[in-house]
Amino acid sequence: MPQKTKHTPMMEQYFGIKASYPDAFLFYRLGDFYELFYEDAIEVSQLLELTLTSRNKNADDPIPMCGVPHHAASGYIDTLVQQGYKVAICEQVEDPKTAKGMVKREVVQLVTPGTVMEGRGLSAKENNYLVALAFSDRTFQLAYVDLTTGELKVASLANEEDVLNEVAVLKAREVLLTSAVPETTTELLEKRLGLIFSVQEESEESTEFTFLTQDLSETLTPVTLKLLAYLSRTQKRSLDHLQKAVEYQVDHFLKLDYYSKFNLELTQSIRTGKKQGTLLWLLDETKTAMGGRLLKQWIDRPLIHQSQIEMRQNQVASLLDAFFERGDLQETLKKVYDLERLAGRVAFGNVNGRDLLQLKTSLQQVPFIRQILSGLDEGQWRDLLVHISPLEELVSLIERGIHEDAPLAITEGNIIKTGFNQQLDQYREAMHSGKKWLAELEAKERQATGIKNLKIGFNRVFGYYIEITKSNLGALEEGRYERKQTLANSERFISPELKEIETLILEAEEKSVDLEYQLFLAIREEVKQSIEKLQTLAQALSAVDVLQSFATISEKYQYIRPQFNQQQTLRITEGRHPVVEKVLGHQEYIPNSIEMDAETLILLITGPNMSGKSTYMRQLALTVIMAQMGCFIPAESAEMPIFDQIFTRIGASDDLIAGQSTFMVEMMEANHALQHATPNSLILFDELGRGTATYDGMALAQGIIEYIHQEVKAKTLFSTHYHELTVLDEELSRLKNIHVGAVEQEGEVVFLHKMMAGPADKSYGIHVAKIAGLPKKLLERADYILMNLENGHQHLSTPTPPVEQLSLFSESNEIETQVIDELKALNVLEMTPLDAINALHQLQKKIK
């Protein structure tokens, strides 16, 4: 970049501002445009497909430049922020007409992925979290905020794995770091989640921030203050809607690590990355945006306290038993807008008249919601009803003040109702009377001049005028009017009387618009005083919305209420995978029971591929999660313990991002479960050990099973293809064998998708290959090899050797001896059918 001294005062000003925001694109206001210069211009022109021009084109070193109109800038800014960039908005902060010298400019807001308040970057049913991270005393401190809703929470985390889990759960788009955070943590977050990072070292002392952090422990206050300082520095406006920081413990909820949530597809499909096909997709019958966000939070954080779970169950049951009331409740909730984000917009100062009308409409539904719930209440709704307040005074204020057809703009008038303010009414009367006077003046002048098409008009440049066509100018008395403008076919004039009326009307219009703006700001300020009440109301209505969604789903899919016990008994009769059932239909889905008494720790599951082992395991995990959310579950009956954690290893996938193989990922996830599981945890391992050689995999699988049985003592489902492991039930008293049933009919295999006691007697791998469409000749050969192996034969000769083929054993020559030796050395138990065929082919080539 050229030396600053070579540039104009305006560019000097630009350099000074840009130096404070080196990691952001600077949108620099020049008149009606935001301009970008140098590297910003080059990069943004490519990202937004804008024309790249230059300033001082004829100079030796022209300045690259591009720009966007200020009235359309929000769309461009949205696009950049969605792509992970930061945008600093630099405005003219004084009137160019009154400025002495250079117009003063300064950045009025820094928009980042974690601080978006509106636009396409926000999803109605998803939070937009900004996370701050610190490290001290060998623990991490994490604070997060949703600027759109004011939610502010803080936690202490033990290790990097917990940090990864929390940031992944929050789906944070931006992480605020302090210098104390280890590089390994930053690298882990970047590698796994692809986040944008910002840095904030300084805190900011203020009465407001002290109030927000007053309930926090000393260790968690610093990271929260740095988060608040970053918001203050970037947003440069009121943050009155931020709620008092709440400290939470991750172990106060059912814990699922990052991998388990990914494997179970709770909120995001592995295949598409979308919501469809997930547990969230199934459960979301919410009618409000804030209810949709709360549902996702409940899925991410199921409960572990029985009393809290049963309270939700009671509320779901009361709605389930009240069909008509539930229908009325749903219809009423449809009319409730996003109170959380409306409250945030009020505090942020970017609320408009239509937003306040949405607020009024939402609050008008509250008495009906109260009435419905009060009619159902037998103690279940008491705590929520306390927070469902109608806020009548706010409804009255907006009803009296804001016009039903209020425009989006708040500075152009027509936003305040007549009758709200006496002065405004007087201005409006003056405008109305002035227009009446204009009509009377026009009629009077036509009569006086005899010119029937004389008319009074208005334009913004010349104001009001009397227009007479040129053909009628001869009838006009000389000196009656003062000439103002000449057109091709007419002349325009002004008169003292018209000037007087014009002054009255324009003054009234100007003062009216200004007064309306001031009145709107006063209404907004009054609404702002009720932000805390609005947020409390929003939280209560969100919970009601999620609970009615649970009741709706439970009725629709015939779910039942599970019972909880302290005896570690898990008994689910005819359970179903909720998402698969929704896809297949209730009639098509084959249910399965699961029974583990207090003395049973491990179910060892065997059976063919594609038979439903993985589905059975996922079914149990989703059932537990739904139950501990307080939702009813897909089964005929169920009793279960309350689990503290769920660990899964379901499905094989290489972690290519981290450069790890399937087997390494398997071992890491298994180790995580073995290190952190307790006797109250649930472990689901699907075909663990398959990623390495047969004997290695089998040995590891047995070692893991024995370790869980003897040391961890968690309820575990372990599926395997190693049939040799089924003998473990003779040695491990708390392990039971179950298998997926299959029957053969006329040489074809039919999978029953039904769990049965005992081990499977066959793998049916070749039948699965047949279903997959492998060539018939290959399958026949593999079947023959399998038959030989099962009969204990160690050689793999063809069943009917052709006549011309040399017998391997007819002559004892050198080549035959070598082939026989190689054949003896083959370890057929560790070979797949395809490996066996390839080995046989090589030996056959040698013998020929």
| Lowest-pLDDT range of 332-336, 453-457, 679-683, 687-691 | 687-691
* Residue 47, number of CB atoms within 10 A of its CB: 14
pLDDT digits (tens, 9 = 90+) for 582-626: 988 877 788 999 999 999 999 999 887 667 888 899 999 999 999
Domain membership flag for residue 511? yes
Q: What is the mean pLDDT of residues 771-780?
A: 72
Question: Would you state the pLDDT for residue 806?
Answer: 40
| Contact yes or no for 213/235 (Cβ under 8 A) | no
pLDDT digits (tens, 9 = 90+) for 298-354: 999 999 999 999 999 999 999 999 999 999 999 999 999 999 999 999 988 889 999
Residues 6+ apart with CB under 8 A from 512: 413, 424, 427, 428, 431
446 shares a domain with 572: no
Domain membership flag for residue 264? no
Nearest partner of 674 among 647, 692, 652, judged by Cα? 647
195 shares a domain with 135: yes
| Contact yes or no for 632/550 (Cβ under 8 A) | yes
| Contact yes or no for 732/748 (Cβ under 8 A) | no
| Contact yes or no for 843/819 (Cβ under 8 A) | yes
CA 264/CA 163 separation, integer angstroms: 20
For residues 697 and 662, which has the higher predicted lDDT (pLDDT)? 697
Cross-sheet strand order for the sheet of 735-745:
255-256, 645-649, 682-686, 715-719, 602-606, 735-745, 748-757
727 shares a domain with 633: yes
pLDDT digits (tens, 9 = 90+) for 109-155: 999 999 998 877 788 899 999 999 999 989 999 999 999 999 999 99
For residues 680 and 689, which has the higher predicted lDDT (pLDDT)? 680
pLDDT digits (tens, 9 = 90+) for 350-407: 899 999 999 999 999 999 999 999 999 999 999 999 999 999 999 999 999 999 999 9
Mark which of 64, 81, 111 sits at the end of a domain: 111
Convert 122-145 to b/e letters by CB count within 10 Å (16 or more is b): beebebbbbbbbbbeeeebbbbbb
Question: Would you state the pLDDT for residue 749?
Answer: 64
CATH assignment of the domain containing 630:
3.40.50.300
**What stretch of H or E contains 288?**
none
Angle at the Cα of 200 from the Cα atoms of 195 and 204, rounded to 5 degrees: 140
For residues 118 and 710, which has the higher predicted lDDT (pLDDT)? 710
376 shares a domain with 321: yes
Convert 87-121 to b/e letters by CB count within 10 Å (16 or more is b): bbbbebeeeeeeeeeebebebebbbbbbbbbeeeb
Domain membership flag for residue 116? no
611 shares a domain with 541: no
pLDDT digits (tens, 9 = 90+) for 158-197: 999 899 999 999 999 899 998 789 999 999 898 888 888 9
The answer, yes or no, to whether residue 805 has pLDDT greater than 60, is no
Supply the mean pLDDT for the chain.
87
CATH assignment of the domain containing 356:
1.10.1420.10
Nearest partner of 235 among 94, 75, 80, 112, judged by Cα? 112
Domain that holds residue 644: 563-765
Question: Would you state the pLDDT for residue 122?
Answer: 82
Residues 6+ apart with CB under 8 A from 269: 275, 276, 277, 278
DSSP codes, 672-702? HHHHH--TT-EEEEESTTTTS-HHHHHHHHH
Q: Answer whether 0.75 is exceeded by the pTM.
A: yes
Question: Would you state the pLDDT for residue 809?
Answer: 44
* DSSP 8-state code for residue 274: S
CA 290/CA 295 separation, integer angstroms: 9
Question: Would you state the pLDDT for residue 388?
Answer: 95
470 shares a domain with 449: yes
Domain membership flag for residue 516? yes
The three state secondary structure string of 734-800 is CEEEEEEEEEEECCEEEEEEEEEECCCCCCCHHHHHHHHCCCHHHHHHHHHHHHHHHCCCCCCCCCC
Question: Would you state the pLDDT for residue 732?
Answer: 94
Q: CA torsion angle for 254, 256, 262, 265 (degrees, to 10)?
A: -20
Domain membership flag for residue 259? no
642 shares a domain with 520: no
pLDDT digits (tens, 9 = 90+) for 716-734: 999 988 888 899 999 999 9
Domain membership flag for residue 268? no
pLDDT digits (tens, 9 = 90+) for 190-229: 888 888 899 888 888 788 888 999 999 999 999 999 999 9
| Contact yes or no for 648/681 (Cβ under 8 A) | no
Judged by DSSP in three states, 54 sits in strand
Strand runs (DSSP E) across 498-569, as ranges?
563-564
CA 408/CA 391 separation, integer angstroms: 25
Domain membership flag for residue 202? yes
CA 601/CA 736 separation, integer angstroms: 8
The answer, yes or no, to whether residue 412 has pLDDT greater than 90, is no
CATH assignment of the domain containing 80:
3.40.1170.10
Cα 513 to Cα 428, 458, 505, 516, 680: the distances in Å are 10, 19, 12, 5, 66
549 shares a domain with 470: no
The answer, yes or no, to whether residue 656 has pLDDT greater than 80, is no
DSSP codes, 544-562? HHHHHHHHHHHHHTT-B--
Domain membership flag for residue 602? yes
Annotated binding site: 607-614
Question: Would you state the pLDDT for residue 350?
Answer: 86
Q: How confident is the model at residue 1 (pLDDT cuts 50, 70, 90)?
A: very low
Mark which of 765, 793, 827 sits at the end of a domain: 765
Angle at the Cα of 298 from the Cα atoms of 221 and 306, rounded to 5 degrees: 95
Q: What is the mean pLDDT of residues 248-253?
A: 92
| Lowest-pLDDT range of 18-27, 277-286, 455-464 | 455-464
Which amino acid is located at 635 in the chain?
A: A
Tokens of 624: 């537990």
| Contact yes or no for 632/302 (Cβ under 8 A) | no
302 shares a domain with 222: no
The answer, yes or no, to whether residue 744 has pLDDT greater than 70, is no
Tokens of 384: 């929520």
* Residue 510, number of CB atoms within 10 A of its CB: 12
Question: Would you state the pLDDT for residue 4?
Answer: 43
**Length of the chain, in residues:** 848
688 shares a domain with 641: yes
Tokens of 368: 């009906």
428 shares a domain with 370: no
Helical H segments across 577-661, by residue range: 578-584, 613-629
Helical H segments across 203-257, by residue range: 207-212, 221-235
CA 768/CA 332 separation, integer angstroms: 52
What phi and psi, each to the nearest 5 degrees, are found at residue 640? -155, 160
Question: Would you state the pLDDT for residue 764?
Answer: 61
Domain count, the chain: 6
pLDDT digits (tens, 9 = 90+) for 466-484: 999 998 988 888 889 999 9
Annotated binding site for ATP: 607-614
Nearest partner of 148 among 84, 225, 216, 243, judged by Cα? 243
Nearest partner of 570 among 591, 601, 542, judged by Cα? 601
Mark which of 111, 139, 162 sits at the end of a domain: 111
User: Tokens 């009145």, residue?
Assistant: 519
**What stretch of H or E contains 603?**
strand 602-606
| Lowest-pLDDT range of 13-17, 38-42, 418-422, 691-695 | 691-695
CATH assignment of the domain containing 194:
3.30.420.110
pLDDT digits (tens, 9 = 90+) for 487-514: 989 999 999 999 988 888 888 888 898 9
In Å, how far from its chain's centre is CA 690?
34
194 shares a domain with 136: yes
Angle at the Cα of 778 from the Cα atoms of 774 and 783, rounded to 5 degrees: 105
pLDDT digits (tens, 9 = 90+) for 33-79: 999 999 999 999 999 999 999 987 766 778 999 999 998 999 999 99
Which amino acid is located at 15 in the chain?
A: F
Integer distance in angstroms from the first to the last C-alpha of the chain? 76
Tokens of 637: 């009956």
Q: How confident is the model at residue 812 (pLDDT cuts 50, 70, 90)?
A: very low
For residues 305 and 672, which has the higher predicted lDDT (pLDDT)? 305
